Amino acid sequence: MGILRLLLSLVAITLGAAETPTTGTRYRGVVFPPVFREQDFRDLVPSRANLVRWQIRDERPGIPDSLDGAAYDAWLAGELDEVAQALEACRRHGFALVIDLHAPIGGRRAGGDLALLYDVRLRDAFVRQWTTIATRFRGHPALWAYGLVNEPGQLQPTTPDLDYLATQERAARAIRAVDPTSTILVAAKMADGPEGFVDLRPIPVAGVAYEVHLYVPMAFTHQGVEGDTVGVRYPGIIAGHQADRAALRRVLEPVRRFQTIHGVRIYVGEFSAVRWAPGAAAYLTDCIALFEEFGWDWTYHAYREWPGWSLEPGVHHLRRPDGSAYPADDPGRLEAVLRGFARNPPRTP
């Protein structure tokens, strides 16, 4: 990716010096695919990104959702070996890392609910697995945070000690028993959407931050991804509602209110707009402007995972379900995210 390296270097130079955070390190980076490739880290260095969200999941269909007990533990052990490689690559290249348990034991039930929120045996295995992860990686200089679970779904009733928040609190306490310092990321319900913060309560565990994902409106961000409708433009009227920076601010208000009331740190684990969405560059610019205004850490979804989300030129080889080509990419998406990365301090050799 020599062209990408050159482009990133030129943009970083053009954008000039970054601001220096005054209250500890601010993180701005990308979500990585679940496959270790050293070159991916090297190629990202000129961008000035400083955070990698590493997904523990599998690209093979049904894995690990079909695994249980010892079979899941064996799969997880292999994934943790890749986490170890990723952490070392982050140490070499100057990134911090979030360990994201993207595919927890038990998988998802019909409708997207996490099975472990309805089964004590799975819940206890989940907590034990986090103890294993924290015991292995505590103290690593590149480790920033443990992301307890990705986009928890809980649409059906469950018992209070098994719900999405009680389960995460139990896992957080297990982590704190072996790792007293690393940040722990608690996910909101409603698939980590901003609306999940309306009735969220902080958990009584030290060193916790709260994770939100932003894909609003999905008719724009996911056009052509989940359904064939394309050509939905931002800013504008989308699904009968005005979509612009002011509307995004209103969407994020529950998160901002939670942050302000409780004095907690907020991390945007995922946000994106598919590459052919008209106005995607403006959307990403508005998202990042709000994250910066609110002082939130963030990672763009995603880097070298699926071409539809990719910011890199020259990787768009996708076709619509009928075999036709998608519209041309919205220009400026890469530059919008790079302007956000430029706020990170330059790396020290």
- Indicate whether 16 pLDDT > 60: no
Residue 22 inside a domain? The answer is: no
Kindly report the CATH number assigned to the domain that includes residue 98.
3.20.20.80
221 CB contacts (<8 Å, ≥6 apart)? 215, 272, 273, 274, 277, 283
Structural domain boundaries enclosing 249: 2-17+27-316+323-341
Place 15 in a pLDDT band, splitting at 50, 70 and 90: very low
pLDDT digits (tens, 9 = 90+) for 258-303: 999 999 999 999 999 999 999 999 999 999 999 999 999 999 999 9
Among candidate residues 348, 259, 251, 257, the one with its CA nearest the CA of residue 297: 259
Q: Is the pLDDT of residue 138 over 90?
A: yes
Which of 186, 251, 246, 256 is closest to 218 using CA atoms? 251
pLDDT in tens, 197-210: 999 999 999 999 99
Lowest mean per-residue pLDDT among 63-67, 127-131, 203-207, 318-322: 318-322
Would 330 be classed as within a structural domain? Answer: yes
pTM over the 0.85 mark: yes
- 147 occurs within a structural domain: yes
- Give the angle subtended at the CA of 206 by the CAs of 80 and 268, to the nearest 5°: 60
Among candidates 242, 264, 126, 129, which has minimal Cα distance to 188?
Answer: 264
> Within 13 A of 168's CA, how many CA atoms are on the CB side?
29
- Say if CB 96 and CB 90 are below 8 A apart: yes
In a domain, 170, yes or no: yes
| 75 within domain boundaries | yes
pLDDT digits 0-9 by tens, 296-307: 999 999 999 999
Task: For 316, list phi and psi in degrees, rounded to 5.
Answer: -90, 95
The answer to whether position 346 is within a domain reads no
| Three-state helix/strand/coil letters over 135-165 | HHHCCCCCEEEEECCCCCCCCCCCCHHHCHH
pLDDT of res. 322: 79
So what's the pLDDT on residue 18? 30
8 A C-beta contact, residue 346 and residue 48 = yes
As for how many domains the chain has, the answer is 1
